[in-house]
Amino acid sequence: MIILAGWLIDGKGDPAHANVLLRVRKGRIELMESVQTGAPIDVLIERKGSGEQFLDFSGSTIIPGLIDCHVHLAFSGTSDSEARVRQLRHSFEDALSLIREHIASHLGYGIVAVRDGGDAGSYALRFAREHALPQHDAPLTIRTCGQAWHAPGRYGSFLGRAPLPELSLAQSFRNGQGDHIKIIQSGMNSLRHFGRQAPPQFSTEALSEAAQTARSIGRPVMVHANGQEAVASAIEADVHSIEHGFFMGEENLRRLADRRIVWIPTAVAMQALARELPEGSTEAGIARRTLDHQLEQMASARRLGVPVCLGTDSGSVGVHHGRSLPDEFRLFLEAGYTVEEIVHAATERSAKLLGLDQSMGVLAPGRPAVFVAVPGPPDVLPESLLKGPELYVFGG
């Protein structure tokens, strides 16, 4: 198969390439090179190989398949409070159709992999283990923790469980089944008091022991943390990623850059609250201020060189699976990132975080052919994602 792309973003953070010819064979990119503008297509095909399928996407941009690094597949983004309560009571059979619907939504926006942050019933994990889609259905790759861990009596019971009294945090998950460990180290952001910070859920010592144990069994650690103290303890524990990170402060951003710990800002979650809450209310105003503060932190992160990935917190109020990733993309643009930097954050860097860097994330000769084509040039991203990809290639 030979494809002519008007533009191509390779996922490495480099500037977009124009007029690129790709050849895909046996699931891999065999050739990828720029061609002269206006070169006759029939000459190109004759030079590159006859008898192969040719696809003309000269008006489109090819990018690696995207990755959402923070979702909750068992929950929808509905703002209907009664529906949200019902979802908390779902049996696995109830959740099954919802999870399948969310998978379809992610694929519809060019997302080929997600990292799930947990649900109390471990439904996303059970789905991934028991109901994997067959290869010919172009499956969404799922990495999930199953259940998250929170301190007794603290925020997070709808996402997981607390350690038993006789067990430490590290002892609690040693024999778990998830792809990674999710630890909740703080609460939610206050919508009544701007910037209020709660104390960490676990001591730095407990978190460090947990991170060391997780490494010994080959499982990365993602930590939900907001506020300076909660984030600082997670950084000190040397976890793999900080989720949310609202109000962490510049000193923590510097530490993230120094230690190369990934930050996933999930700014769109606060944008959704600002939109869903009653207009003119205190809560809506604080949500907007919190979003603005997060955008300032994201701009600082770019300046300081903090490794960032895209994650949406899909499944939280107003944050819908799939379609929220273009919104998060747009917020990164607002914070000063370039299109190529954002694609890099949502592809190569995210693939490394999820342990998928051998199967997706970068477009180059010899690499697996996992990419999508979206209409128009790079500068119309992310709006072009909202129209849906024109082409999907999964391993050829």
Say if residues 325 and 372 touch (Cβ distance below 8 Å): no
How many other C-beta atoms can be found within 10 angstroms of the C-beta atom of residue 1? 15
| Model pLDDT for residues 162-189, shown as the tens digit of each residue | 999 999 999 999 877 899 999 999 999 9
pTM strictly above 0.85 = yes
Please report which confidence band the pLDDT of residue 52 belongs to, taking 50, 70 and 90 as the band edges.
confident
Task: Compute the average pLDDT of residues 123-131.
Answer: 93
Write down the pLDDT at residue 135. 53
Write down the pLDDT at residue 271. 98
Q: Name the class of domain 2-64+362-394.
A: mainly beta
Q: Name the class of domain 66-353.
A: alpha beta
Write down the pLDDT at residue 174. 81
Q: Please report, for the chain, the start and end positions of each structural domain, with discontinuous segments joined by +.
A: 2-64+362-394, 66-353
Residues comprising the chain, all counted:
396
User: Alpha-carbon distance 10 to 361, whole Å?
Assistant: 8
Task: Compute the average pLDDT of residues 45-51.
Answer: 57
Please report which confidence band the pLDDT of residue 101 belongs to, taking 50, 70 and 90 as the band edges.
very high
The alpha-helical segments, DSSP class H, found in the chain are 41-48, 81-88, 92-107, 123-130, 169-173, 204-216, 228-236, 250-259, 267-276, 282-304, 324-334, 339-346, 348-353, 383-387
Write down the pLDDT at residue 46. 56
User: Alpha-carbon distance 321 to 121, whole Å?
Assistant: 19
User: Alpha-carbon distance 16 to 6, whole Å?
Assistant: 10
Write down the pLDDT at residue 47. 53
| Model pLDDT for residues 38-47, shown as the tens digit of each residue | 555 554 555 5
Residue 395 in this model has a pLDDT that exceeds 60? yes
Whether the link from the prior residue into 368 is cis, omega within 30° of 0, is: no
Q: Which long-range contacts (CB under 8 A, 24 or more apart) does 326-329 make?
A: 326/109, 326/382, 326/383, 326/385, 326/386, 327/268, 327/271, 327/382, 328/266, 328/267, 328/268, 329/381, 329/382, 329/385
Say if residues 221 and 189 touch (Cβ distance below 8 Å): no
Please report which confidence band the pLDDT of residue 49 belongs to, taking 50, 70 and 90 as the band edges.
low
